[in-house]
Structure 1
């Protein structure tokens, strides 16, 4: 362990923050794999930021000093060799040592050149002058950012109607499959600098779940003294960064990527544009391609982002101002940046990592909000394809082949036919009517045998699809011949259904008056199916199929295929389940100097140690663990395991009991009493949206909600993410208004928020101070044990990790979700709140031991409502007096 390090913190850190930063520093210094737990509200992100940057600065300083020292020693040694009588040996040693000096000097030059480059950029006034309106806008001000958006919105509309990245008219020659040459590089790879040109100076890759969490981390860096001499860049997808209006309109991530790459080609000679009104206008050769893809301006914006810390939104605003692509500016800055901020998908998915030019070798990886990392890796690498996507893909592939087969290269036609056969087999398996249960699990080996595609080598076919740009070509084909395709598909399908004679009859008697007559129900059904297929992007459908086929190339033991059949073949689907997340994490562990996974609720550490690090090939000795308490004193938190309700009934919210009138009535009585005594905001978490709806309707029909609303205004968590901010804003305004005695003329003392465990409000949001004086969790939110996916995962863990690993995993899914809800309330040292766990099962010893340690130290187990209610009253009376 290194000696105590001095960290530059924005304020005097708490002891637990000092311990966290020191442990992090030691872990990075020794190149270990760290599992770090720091409760939500203890400044975890700031501690990660200061600890890691301090280590990086010290490490670089030591490296530079060490390199200079080694060079000096070698030079002295060469002089000594010159005095050696054996001149042959001396000359040989001199050559070898000069080679070493050259190697060390190159490394030292990289350190110095990066520092000199950044310093020159900071001194260059013309970088700042790129933003013509820099004096007009303050990019650290949210109000100025919004003002800029309003000022430029009109310009964006005008640009859209001119030639900003407009879509080319599709020629048939553009739709022919590209010839696949084995040595050919992917388009994406061509845009990435060669690895040899990449800077070898150590970097930190900081990863979190959402862009808002990443922006929060960037803002934490801005608060520190490190911000003036550290280069930070935020990587994100084209969907987040693209400022080309014509590309932004595309809903699919895949199509956005393909359109971006196509526009960069600048197809000369046939450039035309399609304006918003659908009219096609001619476009000059000069304007073809994306106008934002300008190397000079990209370089300038890259330089600006290196000397001034910007999050994704800041860089988008700056890119719009100078009409330069933020996506490629951010990617170009990776080489010189010291900290690269990336979302989960970018870091954890290997092909996405490579596409973004991310080289983890000897670098640091820090993954924040990692409590669900294992499930996240599984989700990122899962693949699902439904019947309507398979049918769309196979039908359009056949029409595409028949249209252009005479123009395809023989090898392309052969491979296209093989793809059509395989997709047809997959769809055919969904259509098979059997007496099997609706859900079935296959091993990968069983699946390819059952689908009768075991004779095909899928890897070359997947390479063919990707390198020939099959999805893009098929999308363009559908764009050009969409109406003809729909008509042809309808004709083919109705013939198969025995309705061709009926259609012929309609055609023969097709007078103008008949055109407005309603069609037969059978035809309506067929048309509805065609419309449903047409609504699905053809490019998306084939890309989804390719992703699923890629999953079939995994090792047989690492995954399973779930087949779910429904009444509709189109809605039935296959899903690839990744059971071994370590297989996708192993390269990160092997390449990185150090990997840190951190979160507010990381217990049990054994889950990460065994299933992630050790399974990825790491030695036990390389793993370090750290857990700290909370900054709040014990008297500021009152956690209660409530086992009995107001009427004396045992609180048992198991799946069989929770819907009974007795339990629903108890919830109503508890909420009514709590809302009468707790000031400010009360947040109540339910196991699911369906159960929240059931409870709400029951309390509403029994007039209990009317009684609650005398004291608290009731809000409900929306299912749609778009409405979350609005609901939270109204919730917080209500509480602030109630606290202001001059504005509050009613008896209302605050608000009640009905939320869902694992929903929009259970992670990443703060209910600090009056926004969350009480958090209730109704029942224990165990996942559905009958789920085929969960059963297969538990079975895999039992067979491959330990006999108890499956059951432990099941318990952890529940308690980690509960712990996330608990962490919403107390957010700083002077905050205070009560946490009420409604279920007698919370008083069990094994359950209590899985709760956060800072909760355990003050926990009141097996409480009856009378005594608990009295404790809650005293708790808030005490804190009211202390204010």
Structure 2
């Protein structure tokens, strides 16, 4: 398609959009399906379609993000400014202007009031998230936070300030507010007569403001329709909600209307806390939905979050024989918590562990080390370079690389890693430090010599200081969420960690003739009170294979014997058909029929 478009000097995007109308197979990113704005803009119709979601462990986060929305104060102001000009040419744009003006005026007032009352929100007190980790989530300084139906009431006042102030009944106010929102959506919709008129002119005047209006109005409509599943959050900096440190405090705005001192970061967030808000419309419209992943378990949690029941569930065992897998729990770094990660001795301890075990791994092969954060990887690499540990590791394994955030350097790093292994099978090899939830840990295939050893260091629990994480945990602990079938907040938090953990564990052993050693590097898998519970959260195909040795010499010796046995009696060569079957068989599959079970 790219070559044909270039040859004819045409646009690939519009060519693909035209082909979409008659296509029988459509490949697209998740958000093209679960973000209603994108789905509507592209004209994606799901009726009578089978929707297949690969890497389905991401579907919860994708749906929450798809149903969430953030609008900066500047975007609202710019939208109002442009629409004031648009209505001079297209009178029907008045309803969009009215909606955007109401939202902008309301947000401006809320931020000014929050500034004036020192962050108190409806008497719930002050303080940042970081200082109140164990209690309910409260707004930070200069912020206003509304949870559940509080957010609905706040938006009703925003859209109907006069009517709401007269003491009118809530249903009357709600009907009027929805009328304001629906009129704005109808005008700003990508397929509306107004948008078609503007498109016919060949100019973009008005497109930006109508697009902002449409996205904001759809999000407000979703919150008013599902108020219990949202939080509404007005903040002086959308990039740093809830933060109270000196860095954030120094970036406060100084009141007044849209001055430069307020900055472009002030805005409002409408965060969805339940994936079913976005998943429900897709499952209702599509003929069926098939979700596949190696880490969907527990299915009950997934069903609760997505608001559906899967009539067909398949959890297949791994096809690789036990003799080709060495799984071991190591406590050499203790409980690898945030405190342990900050220990200045930790980089040296990790280097000693790797030097000890990598001596038993075949030369000229690849090894992966997964860690919780990019910042931690950078600190480790810097420490190794200063101490000389990096030179020792390079002498042992060849090339030592680190995954970096962003996509710019990823391809080059991956090529260097694989090139180092391909170039020297008898010596050298490569070692890569990567992050959980990063590109290396999700979906990439490190089969055969590209990953003979995988070290999963620590357990990647989401940040306890992250505002969205704390709000989600609090929401899942509410009676409403529990009655809706959602697991408690603490359990949800643990499952988020282990889904990411199991994704990293699964980078190696990619077909039935593959083999590798896997290390769970955290004392919480060993003799602690949490050991059995944590091992039960590991992927089903390996949880019963986890070994632990009291003596490191016995441990390294057993690892060496594992690779010696494989060398003496290697598995058969991989075949393409076998490889494909193995990949499919390791997936947990859940299928949802949204109309009749006969369609499955």
Report TM bin, short chain. 0.7 to 0.9
- Which residues in structure 2 correspond to 1:160-171 (within 5 Å)? none
Task: Tell me if 1:754 matches 2:433.
Answer: yes
Is residue 375 of structure 1 aligned with residue 98 of structure 2? no
Shift of 1:684: 0.7
Unaligned runs of 5+ in 1: 1-314, 480-536, 742-747
Indicate the SS of the match to 1:583: helix
Distance change >3 Å, CA 840–CA 583, structure 1 → 2: same
CA contact (8 A) 2:188 2:211 kept: no
Q: 1:545/1:716 Cα in 2 relative to 1: closer, same or farther (>3 Å)? A: same
Query: Structure 1 residue 555: deviation in Å?
Result: 1.9
**d(CA) in 2 for partners of 1:412, 1:357:** 22
Question: Is the alpha carbon distance of 1:548 and 1:354 closer, same or farther for their aligned partners in structure 2, counting shifts above 3 Å?
Answer: closer
Question: Residues of 1 paired with 2:182 and 2:325: CA distance?
Answer: 56
> Hey, what does 1:830 align to over in structure 2?
513
User: What is the rounded CA distance, in whole Å, between the counterparts of 1:541 and 1:863 in structure 2?
Assistant: 61
Q: Count matched residues.
A: 488
- The structure with higher relative contact order (CA 8 Å, sep 6+) is 2
Where in structure 2 are the equivalents of 1:235-250 lying within 5 Å?
A: none
Distance 2:29 2:78 in 1: 32
Residue 696 (structure 1) aligned with residue 387 (structure 2): no
Question: Alpha carbons of 1:413 and 1:816: their partners in 2 closer, same or farther (altered >3 Å)?
Answer: closer
1:631: how far off? 2.0
**In the TM superposition, what whole-angstrom CA distance separates every residue of 1:527-561 from its partner, at most 9, and x where no partner exists?**
xxxxxxxxxx8787666645654554442112112
Whether 2:560 is the aligned partner of 1:873: answer: yes
The answer to whether the Cα contact below 8 Å between 1:794 and 1:807 also exists between their aligned partners in 2 is yes
Q: Which has the larger radius of gyration?
A: 1
3-state SS of paired residue (1:638): strand
Check 1:594–1:763 CA distance in 2 against 1; reply closer, same or farther (3 A cut): same
* Aligned match of 1:74: none
Helix, strand or coil: the match of 1:777?
strand
2 CA distance for matches of 1:675 and 1:768? 18
Say whether the 8 Å CA contact 2:99–2:181 is kept in structure 1. Answer: no
Describe the superposition over 1:146-180 as per-residue Cα deviations: whole angstroms up to 9, x where unpaired.
Answer: xxxxxxxxxxxxxxxxxxxxxxxxxxxxxxxxxxx
1:593-623 per-residue CA deviation (whole Å, 9 max, x = no partner) reads: 43221111111111122332xx24x5xxx61
Kept after mapping to 1: 8 A contact 2:33/2:39: yes
Deviation at 1:810, TM superposition (A): 0.6
Q: Aligned partners of 1:582, 1:846: CA distance in 2, in Å?
A: 28
SS at match of 1:836: strand
Q: Deviations over 1:640-663 (max 9, x none)?
A: 1112x2xxxx61111122211343
Look up the SS of the partner of 1:639 in the other structure: strand
Give the alignment's TM-score, normalised by structure 1. Answer: 0.51
Q: How does 1:210-221 map to 2 (within 5 A)?
A: none
CA displacement, residues 549-585 of structure 1 (integer Å, 9 cap, x when unaligned): 4554442112112344342432234222212222332
1:362 Cα deviation from its structure 2 partner: 4.6
Does residue 858 in structure 1 map to residue 545 in structure 2? Answer: yes
Kept after mapping to 2: 8 A contact 1:687/1:781: yes
Instruction: For residues 468-512 of structure 1, give each alpha carbon's deviation from its aligned partner in whole angstroms, at most 9, with x where no partner exists.
Output: 449999x95599xxxxxxxxxxxxxxxxxxxxxxxxxxxxxxxxx
Which residue in the other structure is 2:130 paired with?
none
- Please identify, of 854-863 and 371-380, the stretch whose mean Cα deviation from structure 2 is larger: 854-863
Structure 2 residue aligned with 1:846: 533
2:302 is aligned to 608
Residues 1:731 and 1:365: Cα distance change in structure 2 (over 3 Å)? same
Report if the CA contact (8 A) 1:458-1:553 is conserved: no
Which of 412, 426, 432 is matched with 2:107 structurally?
Answer: 426
TM-score norm. by structure 2 comes to 0.73
> Is residue 328–residue 518 contact of structure 2 (8 Å, CA) maintained in 1?
yes
**Residues in 1 aligned to 2:267 and 2:15: alpha-carbon distance in whole angstroms:** 40
* More displaced stretch, 462-471 vs 415-424: 462-471
Shift of 1:804: 4.8
C-alpha distance 404-361 of structure 1, shift in aligned 2 (>3 A):
closer
Q: Does 2:324 match 1:636?
A: yes
Q: 494, 503, 513: which is aligned to 1:811?
A: 494
Local SS of the residue matching 2:434:
strand
Say if 1:321 and 1:848 are closer, same or farther in 2 by CA, change over 3 A.
Answer: same
Q: Which of 143, 147, 167 is 1:443 aligned to?
A: 147
Deviations along 1:441-478, whole A, 9 cap, x unmatched?
A: 313643465574141432223333344449999x9559
Specify the alignment match of 2:284 in structure 1: 590
Please state how far the C-alpha of 1:419 moved relative to its aligned partner.
Answer: 2.4
Structure 2 gap ranges (5+): 120-126, 128-139, 161-176, 238-250, 253-261, 571-600
Shift of 1:677: 3.0
Question: Does the 8 Å contact 1:371/1:599 carry over to 2?
Answer: yes
CA separation in 2, counterparts of 1:445 and 1:344?
29
Could you tell me how far apart the structure 1 residues matched to 2:381 and 2:106 are? 47
The reply to whether residue 777 of structure 1 matches residue 456 of structure 2 is yes
* Map of 2:228 onto structure 1: 557
2:361 paired with 1:656 = no
Aligned: 1:705 with 2:393: no
How big is the shift at 1:335? 6.3
Q: Report the equivalent of 2:312.
A: 624
Inter-partner Cα distance in structure 2 for 1:351 and 1:477: 20
For residues 449 and 709 of structure 1, the distance between their equivalents in structure 2, rounded to whole angstroms, comes to: 61
**How far apart, in 1, do the equivalents of 2:95 and 2:406 lie?**
46
Are 1:683 and 1:774, in contact at CA under 8 Å, matched by a contact in 2?
yes
* Separation in 2, partners of 1:319, 1:449: 50
8 Å contact from structure 1 (residues 777, 818) kept in 2:
yes
Change (3 A) 1:387 1:870: farther
Q: Give the superposed CA RMSD.
A: 3.2
1:98-143 C-alpha deviation (Å, 9 max, x unpaired) = xxxxxxxxxxxxxxxxxxxxxxxxxxxxxxxxxxxxxxxxxxxxxx
Is the Cα contact below 8 Å between 1:683 and 1:753 reproduced in 2? yes
Aligned pairs for 1:43-82 (under 5 A) are: none
Name the SS for the 1:776 alignment partner.
strand
| Partner-residue secondary structure (3-state), 1:385 | strand
Would you say 1:722 and 2:404 are equivalent positions? no
2:577 is matched with none
